[in-house]
């Protein structure tokens, strides 16, 4: 027969699956001979059986009774005994902590008879009646769903009429009678007097609370599986509300906000545990306990030291002092802020409690990301005006502008607000402190460019109705005009009206070289852990950088090269006119002339980037986007031409452009004439770029540098495309004297490229996984629209756990990647494989890439430290180092 009940002395902390986190830790404290009230845990197996069958598993309550008798013998008190009643606390506790989500019932065992026994035992009649009314209220709410307010109303009424010392025992006895009436009216029968029945019903109610709506929602948000069930902890009651020499509190072995060593906590004299949590009364610091009861305080600090050494981490505890005697009610490895996580991990490693490898497992890239951005002062945030997708983190405050001209002309800081952005908006994006769009998701143009620049960006705030012509946007009936101040949070996606105060990040100042590592505790910890990550990681970390400035910044942040230089970003600004010439060129001679004008500009760009990354690889991607992206948008042009025609004027250049845009227009441009297809259809385009790269490298060699360019072909789906491009590339390279050998590789960013990786690898010296397009084409989700529209619904409904554009989908896209790696390497064993999609900087995805055997990841410069840390964590995990907590 399955065993369902475990005495605290029978368990240990390794049994959290069965006993829940709380039960396992109570067992561990009991084993350590710490003062835990006697008790037992009903296992998660029992809960799962109950939830599956809708009935308590046979024999469960017999087992409960047997364990109960052991408590009764140990304490020499019995449940239901009139003279010396045992009272019980019943608490939920699943594998993962779900704070406040599930149920607790205290004072089980009180009834009309035992309440007088409790009064005699405690010598405090008021206390006994107060405990009884608490039981009726908690039981009514938890077991039968009676709203707490129905009881609170009566309690408030009593307090309003009570004297200065609070209600008398007689008044509280009257309150109990009223509570019993409320209970009977609401529930349809009397409050159960039989203590065992109370206990059984309480256990069932805890089982049921697993499926309470709020618990289900919480699990979905925290990615906790729905089928784990909760354990139920049944423990002898100890009382913190027996007068001034009693009390209750919570404490941490280190400061969970900053990681500073020492014992921190709150204490409330003459109170029960839920008074602290509910926050009805103001708590005091632990110093109050040290002053009023130094013996208990000393014992508490000793116990906290024992726990921290034993768990080798920050622990938090709940405790109660009953008439000068300390009892431990709970402990667990405590939650902490990202800053505290870094500080504590580094300190524990310094103290020798854990290894530096293990310290890496205690922090995450996501936490580092949070530490790198300025944040809004959370105490000061008002109600958000709207919420979009947090597309590029940070906190930005500025005046609203709607276009490039205003963004560059206005006094900074400004927030550029657009329906969506396109390459035209780059000057405005550069000038702005933050970017807010009404359309698009995390891989939309605005998001990708903003992340690359480290600009705060909120995308897809669909509640915004933007009217640039009138210079305003509206959200419902609120109107925000150009020049009004707004604040946007690129982490949460929230948009606020007015200025919210911002705190700068010391970690970013350190990474930028403005703060020395030893300048503050947090920065020291980040520095040590990042350096350790660098010594253990196998994955290289490169940056996606299109300008010398980004390349320099990325190198300072620890990038080992450029993994993706998107050359289209070099064709913006005033150079667009040259691209326009190329697109409008009539005949080979005009094409050649346009390309010849572009060549020196490209060469100069490459020289500067190769200089910034001297001695390190720089992967330059040949032109990728559809050409019409370099021309004005069709509706704008059409309107201009129509206006000219209405005025009887010749449309002139606009007319020519309009014809070109119409010619190039496609229904699905992302699946149209772009990438390698462009190179094969616009003669001389790729050749010009290749020549510029080779000549730049030759120039760097002549200058005494060590240039290491690599040429990458985008959007290949068939090896014959790559073979055709290679023939052209190799011919050009052979014509440029003085250049070093330049490897030629391809992006793998379509399912077909992944599926035919073997043949493609014969033509490619390296692969770079373009996981943005690969995700888009594998899922058939538009990267520009999906996140702004239905993906939100999918997340809410649990159809996807995270956006596949944010964290790599291991089951679909991941399988294609593993296939591409293995078949590519089978065809060409020395094939280098990296990734340059946005996932390259996502910590969870980095773990996948390490496991898939990639050589490097490439990500936005600011994410380089995050990827370094994640790669370090992946390496220690692969070496079998785990978090020993």
Residue written as token pair 């070289």: 513
Cis bond leading into 413, ω under 30°? yes
Q: Cβ of residue 448: shortest distance to ligand PEP, in angstroms?
A: 6
In angstroms, the CA 109 to CA 50 distance is 24
By beta-carbon proximity to ligand PEP, the closer residue of 254 and 445 is 445
Pure H helices in 210-292? 213-222, 273-278, 286-292
In the range 769-788, which residues lie near Mg ion by CB under 5 A? 770, 773
Q: Residue 71 or 564: which CB sits closer to ligand PEP? A: 564
In angstroms, give the least distance from the CB of 821 to Mg ion: 18
Q: Which residue is nearest to Mg ion (CB)?
A: 773
Taking the complex as a whole, the smallest distance from the CB of residue 696 to ligand PEP amounts, in Å, to 21
Residue 847 partner contact from ligand PEP, Mg ion, none using kind-dependent CB cut-offs of 5 to 8 Å = none
**Nearer residue to ligand PEP within complex by CB, 11 or 840:** 840
Residues carrying an active site annotation: 445, 836
Q: Does the protein bind Mg ion through residue 563 (CB under 5 A)?
A: no
605-634 footprint of Mg ion as x/- string (CB under 5 A): ------------------------------
Helices 125-144 and 114-122 cross at an angle (nearest 10°) of: 140
Cα 68 from Cα 348, distance rounded (Å): 40
CA distances, 475 to each of 37, 376, 407, 465 (Å): 56, 22, 22, 6
Q: Cβ closer to ligand PEP: 38 or 770?
A: 770
Task: State which residue, 266 or 624, has the beta carbon closest to ligand PEP.
Answer: 624
Can residue 37 be called a binding residue for Mg ion (CB under 5 A)? no
What does DSSP say about strands 375-376 and 386-387: parallel, antiparallel, or unpaired? unpaired
Of 269 and 452, CB closest to ligand PEP: 452
Shortest approach of Mg ion to residue 749 CB, angstroms?
A: 5
Residue 122 touches which of ligand PEP, Mg ion, none (CB < 5 to 8 A by kind)? none
Token code pair at residue 762: 């014969």
Strand ranges (DSSP E) for 720-820? Answer: 744-748, 766-769
Q: What's the token pair of residue 16?
A: 């959290």
CA dihedral over 95, 101, 102, 104, signed as positive or negative: positive
**Minimum Å distance from CB 265 to ligand PEP?**
48
Binding mask 729-758 for Mg ion (x = CB under 5 A): --------------------x---------
Residues that bind ligand PEP (CB under 6 A): 564, 566, 624, 749, 770-773, 836-837
Q: Which does 602 bind (CB under 5 to 8 A by kind): Mg ion, ligand PEP, none?
A: none
**CB contact at 8 A, 859 and 543:** yes
What is the arrangement of strands in the sheet containing 230-236, beginning at the earlier edge strand?
Answer: 5-7, 39-42, 230-236, 88-94, 104-108
- Cβ proximity to ligand PEP, 248 vs 858, nearer residue: 858
**CB of residue 775 vs ligand PEP: minimum separation in angstroms?**
8
CB-hemisphere CA count at 13 Å for 59?
7
Query: Minimal distance in Å, beta carbon 566 to ligand PEP?
Result: 5
Q: Which is nearer to Mg ion, 624 or 695 (CB)?
A: 624
From the list Mg ion, ligand PEP, none, pick the one residue 836 interacts with, judged by a Cβ distance below 5 to 8 Å according to partner type: ligand PEP
Any long-range contacts for 114-117 (C-beta under 8 Å, 24+ apart)? 114/80, 114/81, 114/82, 114/85, 114/87, 114/195, 115/176, 116/82, 117/81, 117/82, 117/83, 117/84, 117/85
CB of 763 to ligand PEP, least distance (A): 20
Residue 366 buriedness (CB in 10 A; 0-12 / 13-18 / 19+): middle
299 binds, among Mg ion, ligand PEP, none (CB under 5 to 8 A by kind): none
What CA–CA distance (Å, rounded) separates 104 from 142? 8
CB atoms within 10 A of CB 270: 17
Residue ranges in contact with Mg ion by CB under 5 A? 749, 770, 773
């Amino acid at each position: 027969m399955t065993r369902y009940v475990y005495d605290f002395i029978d368990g240990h902390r390794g049994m959290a699956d069965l006993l829940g986190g709380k039960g396992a830790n109570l067992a561990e404290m009991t084993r350590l001979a710490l003062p835990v009230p006697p008790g037992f845990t009903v296992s998660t197996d029992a809960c799962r059986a109950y939830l599956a069958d809708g009935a308590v598993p046979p024999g469960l309550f017999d087992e409960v009774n047997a364990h109960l008798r052991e408590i009764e013998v140990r304490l020499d008190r019995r449940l239901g005994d009139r003279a010396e009643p045992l009272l019980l606390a019943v608490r939920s506790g699943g594998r993962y902590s779900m704070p406040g989500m599930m149920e607790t019932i205290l004072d089980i065992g009180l009834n009309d008879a035992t309440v007088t026994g409790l009064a005699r035992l405690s010598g405090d009649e008021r206390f006994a009646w107060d405990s009884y009314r608490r039981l009726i209220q908690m039981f009514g709410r938890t077991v039968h769903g009676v709203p707490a307010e129905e009881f609170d109303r009566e309690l408030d009424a009593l307090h309003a009429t009570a004297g200065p010392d609070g209600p008398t025992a007689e008044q509280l006895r009257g309150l109990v009678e009223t509570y019993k009436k409320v209970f009977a009216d609401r529930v349809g029968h009397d409050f159960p007097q039989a203590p065992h029945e109370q206990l059984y019903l309480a256990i069932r109610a805890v089982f049921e609370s697993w499926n309470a709506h709020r618990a289900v929602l919480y699990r979905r948000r925290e990615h906790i599986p729905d089928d784990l069930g909760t354990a139920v902890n049944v423990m002898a009651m100890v009382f913190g509300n027996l007068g001034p020499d009693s009390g209750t509190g919570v404490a941490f072995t280190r400061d969970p906000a900053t990681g500073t060593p020492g014992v921190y906590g709150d204490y409330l004299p003459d109170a029960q545990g839920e008074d602290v949590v509910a926050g009805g009364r103001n708590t005091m610091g632990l110093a109050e306990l040290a002053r009023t009861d130094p013996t208990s305080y000393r014992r508490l600090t000793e116990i906290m030291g024992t726990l921290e050494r034993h768990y080798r981490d920050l622990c938090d505890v709940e405790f109660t002092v009953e008439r000068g005697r300390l009892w431990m009610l709970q402990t667990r490895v405590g939650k902490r802020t990202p800053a505290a996580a870094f500080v504590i991990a580094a300190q524990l490693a310094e103290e020798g409690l854990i290894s530096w490898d293990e310290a890496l497992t205690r922090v995450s890239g996501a936490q580092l990301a949070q530490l790198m951005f300025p944040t809004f002062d959370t105490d000061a945030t008002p109600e958000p005006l709207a919420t979009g997708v947090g597309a590029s983190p940070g906190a930005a405050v500025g005046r609203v502008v709607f276009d490039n001209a205003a963004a560059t002309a206005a006094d900074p800081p400004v927030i550029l607000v657009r329906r969506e952005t396109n390459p035209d908006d780059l000057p405005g994006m550069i000038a702005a402190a933050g970017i807010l769009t009404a359309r698009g998701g995390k891989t939309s143009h605005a998001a990708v460019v903003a992340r690359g620049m480290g600009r705060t960006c909120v995308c897809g705030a669909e509640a915004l109705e933007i009217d640039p012509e009138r210079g305003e946007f509206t959200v419902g009936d609120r109107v925000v005009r150009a020049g009004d101040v707004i604040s946007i949070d690129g982490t949460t996606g929230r948009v606020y009206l007015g200025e919210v105060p911002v705190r700068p990040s010391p970690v970013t100042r350190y990474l930028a070289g403005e703060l020395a590592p030893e300048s503050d505790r947090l920065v020291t910890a980040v520095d040590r852990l990042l350096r350790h990550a660098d010594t253990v990681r196998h994955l290289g970390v490169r940056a996606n950088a299109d300008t010398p400035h980004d390349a320099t910044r990325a190198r300072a942040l620890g990038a080992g090269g450029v993994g993706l230089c998107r050359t289209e970003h070099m064709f913006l600004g005033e150079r667009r006119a040259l691209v326009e010439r190329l697109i409008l060129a009539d005949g080979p001679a005009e094409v050649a002339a346009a390309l010849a004008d572009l060549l020196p500009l490209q060469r100069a760009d490459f020289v500067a980037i190769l200089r910034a990354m001297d001695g390190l690889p720089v992967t330059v991607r040949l032109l990728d986007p559809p050409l019409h992206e370099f021309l004005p948008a069709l509706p704008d042009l059409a309107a201009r031409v129509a206006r000219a025609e209405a005025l009887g004027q010749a449309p002139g250049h606009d007319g020519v452009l309009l014809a070109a845009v119409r010619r190039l227009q496609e229904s699905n441009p992302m699946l149209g004439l772009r990438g390698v297809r462009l190179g094969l259809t616009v003669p001389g385009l790729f050749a010009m770029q290749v020549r510029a790269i080779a000549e730049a490298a030759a120039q760097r060699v002549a200058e005494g540098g060590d240039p290491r360019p690599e040429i990458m072909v985008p959007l290949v789906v068939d090896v014959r495309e790559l073979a055709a491009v290679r023939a052209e590339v190799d011919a050009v390279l052979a014509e440029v004297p003085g250049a070093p050998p330049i490897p030629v590789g391809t992006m793998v960013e379509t399912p077909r490229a992944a599926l035919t990786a073997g043949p493609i690898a014969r033509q490619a010296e390296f692969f770079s996984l373009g996981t943005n397009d690969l995700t888009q084409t594998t899922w058939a989700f538009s990267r520009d629209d999906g996140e702004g529209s239905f993906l939100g619904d999918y997340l809410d409904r649990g159809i996807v756990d995270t956006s596949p554009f944010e964290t790599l989908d291991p089951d679909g896209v991941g399988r294609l990647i593993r296939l591409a790696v293995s078949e590519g390497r089978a065809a060409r064993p020395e094939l280098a494989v990296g990734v340059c999609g946005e996932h390259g900087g996502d910590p969870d995805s980095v773990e996948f890439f390490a496991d898939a055997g990639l050589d490097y990841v490439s990500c936005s410069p600011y994410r380089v430290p995050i990827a370094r840390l994640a790669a370090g964590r992946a390496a220690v995990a692969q070496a079998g180092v785990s978090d020993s907590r």
